[in-house]
Amino acid sequence: MSRLLSLIPPWLRQLGYIALSVVLGVVFIYAGALKLHNPWRFADAIYAFRLLPRELIIPLALTLPPVEIFAGLLLILGRPRRLGAFAVLLMTIVFAAAIASALARGLIINCNCFGEVGVPTRLKLWAALGRDALLFASALILYLAAPTTTSSKRHVQPPYKR
């Protein structure tokens, strides 16, 4: 894989990472904004998964959308891209686990990931699981590609002291 990446010019690779982080950031900002716009519908969707006690549903419905928006902003801003990618990785793991759990238990619900309305179907849940896999893969690429330090300069050994 690294051999294939070495064939791509560094400027083009960097442009691809920037484009991917902007797209992923916009997706999470959009999803968070939709949930923030109608937190009661989102709380109903969380309840439908039957994974959490009732006491946690409203706090999660009010907390998760701002976290999604913040992670999206981190991806778009670029400097803390690795932190944003890590947050998206964690969220997509949780989202995918919830959807897989619903599928395994035979639940047919709207995940309300992007404000879905209409008749829930098993196919829509499978599509949401596939979408989460794609989001996870994108975030993993960004997480692995992002520099681990905030400095763009390479480490230089200090001069010899006498």
For the stretch 78-126, pLDDT in tens is 778 899 999 999 999 999 999 999 999 999 998 888 877 788 999 999 9
Confidence class for position 28, pLDDT limits 50, 70, 90? very high
- Looking at residue 114, its pLDDT comes to 85
Question: Residues 25, 72: contact at Cβ < 8 Å?
Answer: yes
- Domain ranges in the chain? 9-145
Q: Distance between CA atoms of 18 and 27, rounded to whole angstroms? A: 14
Which DSSP category does 79 fall into? T
Q: Dihedrals φ, ψ of 156, to 5°?
A: -120, 135
Mean pLDDT in residue range 12-36 = 94
Two structure tokens written together for 74: 């981190």
Lowest-pLDDT choice from 104-113, 129-138, 140-149: 140-149
- Looking at residue 126, its pLDDT comes to 95
Confidence class for position 8, pLDDT limits 50, 70, 90? confident
Confidence class for position 141, pLDDT limits 50, 70, 90? very high
Q: Which pTM does this prediction carry?
A: 0.84
Q: Distance between CA atoms of 77 and 24, rounded to whole angstroms? A: 12
- The per-residue pLDDT for range 42-69, each reduced to its tens digit, is 999 999 999 999 999 999 999 999 999 9
Confidence class for position 151, pLDDT limits 50, 70, 90? very low
Which residue reads 């959308």 in tokens?
65
**Which is it for the CA torsion 104, 61, 29, 70, positive or negative?**
negative
Which of 132, 75, 64, 59 minimizes the C-alpha distance to 98?
A: 132
How far is Cα of residue 8 from the mean position of the Cα atoms in its chain? Answer: 26
What residues have CB less than 8 Å from 97, skipping those under 6 apart? Answer: none
The conformational region for residue 155 under phi > 0 = left, psi -120 to 50 = alpha, else beta, is: beta
Q: Distance between CA atoms of 22 and 161, rounded to whole angstroms? A: 46
Which of 19, 8, 7, 157 minimizes the C-alpha distance to 81?
A: 19
Amino acid in the structure at residue 59 = P
